[in-house]
Amino acid sequence: MSARLKLTLAYDGSAFAGWQSQKHGNTVQDRLEAAIARVVGKQLRIHGAGRTDAGVHALGQCAHVDLPDRDRLPNEWRKILNALLPPELRIMRVRYVPESFHARFSAKAKTYRYRIWTGPILPPFEVGRVWHVMKPLDFVKIRRAAKLFVGTHDFSGFAANRGKPEASTIRTIHHATVKKSGNLIVLHFSGDGFLYKMVRMMVGALVDHGIGKISSGDIKDHLVSKSRITGPRFVAPAEGLTLVTIRY
């Protein structure tokens, strides 16, 4: 009798070419499927809650897999898989769930964190963990403008093209917070779902607002008009982004 296993994962995104399986095999999904195949003797499909891009980190990514049977305890699976996986990818928690559970479709909310370093010198231990912005940023303006994203909006103006149309570009942001500690600015966004590169484009727009390139009215106009913001300066780098939690 098959059994559905839920995995909660953490990984350093700089070590992988994103979540989704690719031919070269160096993605989080590929590494997980290879490790499970070594244990059960056949290839099984892992279903993830979100397809993080190359360079994006995770503290609480979730996935599920349907096993042929329930012959191992959850903690045994965690121990075995962590022994087979690279050190940049770790299984944090494991449990069996009903077949009605789906890592992606059962998710109620996700929280992402974005970190920006504003000092003139980037500490070595922050490399690959932050967006280093050396231009002066108006923290108060960024914090105020972030509140514009809260609520239900059509976020097509803050989404990149993944290659196929979304069923809906309407999303609800429950919370958007911006905090500062020394040279570090940390942004958190919680919502019912996020479009492709949506958080990175929101952060990019907020930074452009913080350095005076665009106004808060420009951000509001893109939410209302649904016109797509284009150009690399609006897309924050992947390394500052972390998928923190997924709520079910």
Q: What tokens does 166 get?
A: 């979304």
Decide if 3-97 and 109-247 have a common fold.
Answer: yes
Task: Reply yes or no on whether 192 is catalytic.
Answer: no
pLDDT one-digit tens code per residue, 79-122: 999 999 999 999 999 999 999 999 999 999 999 999 999 999 99
How many degrees, rounded to 5, is the angle at CA 43 between CA 39 and CA 49? 95
Q: What's the pTM? A: 0.94
Question: 109-247: which CATH topology?
Answer: Alpha-Beta Plaits (3.30.70)
Residue 232: its pLDDT value, please?
41
pLDDT one-digit tens code per residue, 111-146: 999 999 999 999 999 999 999 999 999 999 999 999
Q: Looking at the domain covering 3-97, what would its CATH class be?
A: alpha beta
Residue 165: its pLDDT value, please?
75
Q: What tokens does 35 get?
A: 């490790």
Neighbour count for residue 177 (Cβ, 10 Å): 14
Q: Give the residues of the chain that fall short of pLDDT 70.
A: 226-233
Q: What tokens does 204 get?
A: 């990019």
CA distance 96 to 1: 13
Domain boundaries, the chain: 3-97, 109-247
